[in-house]
Amino acid sequence: MNDTQLVMYDEDYRKVLAIIQKLVRDANAKGIFVVDRNGQLIGEAGEMRGIDTTSLASLTAGCIAATGGLAKIVGEEEFPIHFHQGHRDNLHITLVAKRIILVVIFDERSSLGLVRLRVKKAGTELGKVFEHIQKRSEQANAEGDGDAPFSEITDEDIDNLFSM
């Protein structure tokens, strides 16, 4: 596991979005989701707005975690590519830069071959973006240059949360 705290800036986010928006078109995909290994949604593109992305992100992370565990048992480091075939929709899941999960949902308008091909290229690009973020974050951490947005939370703020 990689344990650096990653800080993602707006420019990074825009790069991620540009890559997956292009991938939607190039791969004829219905929807694309970028999920952190711990189950947080980072970005989405495509026509599948309105689906339960919180559940999607946590289950995807669970799925990758489970197969990652399986991989270790059989002596593989990881199974970086997963394909789930459905009646109508199919899921193509890849692990990028060891901590980011790229989920592509596609139907009969596309094909596994096409998705595979396009994901390979987009995955490399995404990998570069996240490696850059990683390096920059490691530097910032080493220099003790973390941000302190929550240093001023008061007990009262916390209490107010629970006035539900």
Interacting residue ranges for other proteins, rule: CB under 8 A: 1-10, 12-13, 36-40, 42, 52, 54-55, 58-59, 62, 65-66, 68-69, 146-153, 157-158, 160-164
Closer of 16 and 115 to other proteins (Cβ): 16
Q: Minimum Å distance from CB 28 to other proteins?
A: 28
Q: Are 92 and 104 in contact (CB under 8 A)?
A: yes
Strand partners, 83: 92
Q: Minimum Å distance from CB 53 to other proteins?
A: 10
Q: Minimum Å distance from CB 81 to other proteins?
A: 19
Closer of 29 and 42 to other proteins (Cβ): 42
Q: Which H/E stretch holds residue 91?
A: strand 90-96
Question: Alpha-carbon distance 152 to 111, whole Å?
Answer: 51
Q: Minimum Å distance from CB 90 to other proteins?
A: 21
Report the candidate in 40, 93, 41 with the shortest Cα–Cα distance to residue 68.
93
Closer of 42 and 122 to other proteins (Cβ): 42
Closer of 72 and 120 to other proteins (Cβ): 72
Do β-strands 41-46 and 81-85 pair in parallel, antiparallel, or remain unpaired? unpaired
Q: Minimum Å distance from CB 121 to other proteins?
A: 24
Question: Alpha-carbon distance 131 to 104, whole Å?
Answer: 21
Exposure string over 97-119, b if 16+ CB within 10 A, otherwise e: beebbbbbbbeeebeeeebeebb
Closer of 69 and 75 to other proteins (Cβ): 69
